[in-house]
């Protein structure tokens, strides 16, 4: 009879906090939490952090891969484009039709190391930095002779 009273007083094991046991029995022990008792909780590792052990090695692999991907997809193509632009800018010659970064279209009438003189209309010339020339003018032919030859 005492055994049935003890079972009724304590209830099922997962019913919540243990209730006070009757005078003749002891309360069931509480479930271990892991950090204070040295035993891991159910399904985990000591300390309560599951999967913590293998994460350090993956971190050392992820960062170099991320840097490598960034280099090959962003930095390297930009360096290649810049090198091509510098080569093209150095190859400019008198008579080329070009456009500036401000949108001005003109024919090169003079060159120096750092500047380009553009003729935007007959007898109207402007001087711009060589670095502001961004490309060939739209509709400019591969040959620089835009006027047809007369026979």
101 falls within a domain = yes
**Distances in whole angstroms, Cα of residue 56 to Cα of each of 1, 52, 88:** 57, 8, 48
Q: Which domain holds residue 77?
A: 57-91
**107 and 130 belong to one structural domain:** yes
pLDDT at 96: 92
Does a structural domain hold residue 106? yes
pLDDT the model gives residue 60: 84
Q: What is the mean pLDDT of each run of 10 residues along the chain (151 residues)?
A: 55 53 56 54 54 66 91 92 91 93 94 93 94 87 47 39
Residue 58: the pLDDT is 83
Of 35, 33, 9, which is closest to residue 22 (Cα–Cα)? Answer: 9
Q: Which pTM value belongs to this model?
A: 0.47
d(Cα 30, Cα 16) in Å, to the nearest integer?
10
Question: Nearest-CA neighbor of 130 among 84, 95, 103, 98?
Answer: 98
In a domain, residue 22? The reply is no
Q: How far is it, in rounded angstroms, from Cα 42 to Cα 33?
A: 9
Question: What secondary structure letter does DSSP report for 74?
Answer: I
């Amino acid at each position: 009879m005492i055994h049935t009273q003890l079972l009724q007083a304590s209830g099922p094991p997962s019913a919540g906090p243990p209730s006070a046991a009757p005078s003749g029995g002891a309360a069931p022990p509480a479930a271990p939490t892991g950090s204070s008792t040295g035993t891991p909780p159910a399904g985990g590792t000591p300390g309560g952090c599951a999967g913590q052990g293998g994460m350090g090695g993956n971190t050392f692999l992820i960062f170099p891969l991320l840097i490598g991907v960034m280099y090959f997809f962003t930095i390297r193509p930009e360096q290649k484009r810049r090198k091509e632009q510098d080569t093209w800018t150095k190859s400019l010659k008198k008579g080329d039709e070009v456009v500036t970064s401000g949108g001005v279209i003109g024919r090169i009438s003079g060159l120096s190391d750092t500047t380009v003189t553009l003729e935007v209309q007959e007898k109207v010339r402007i001087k711009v930095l060589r670095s502001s020339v961004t490309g060939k003018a739209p509709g400019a032919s591969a040959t620089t002779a835009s006027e047809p030859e007369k026979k």
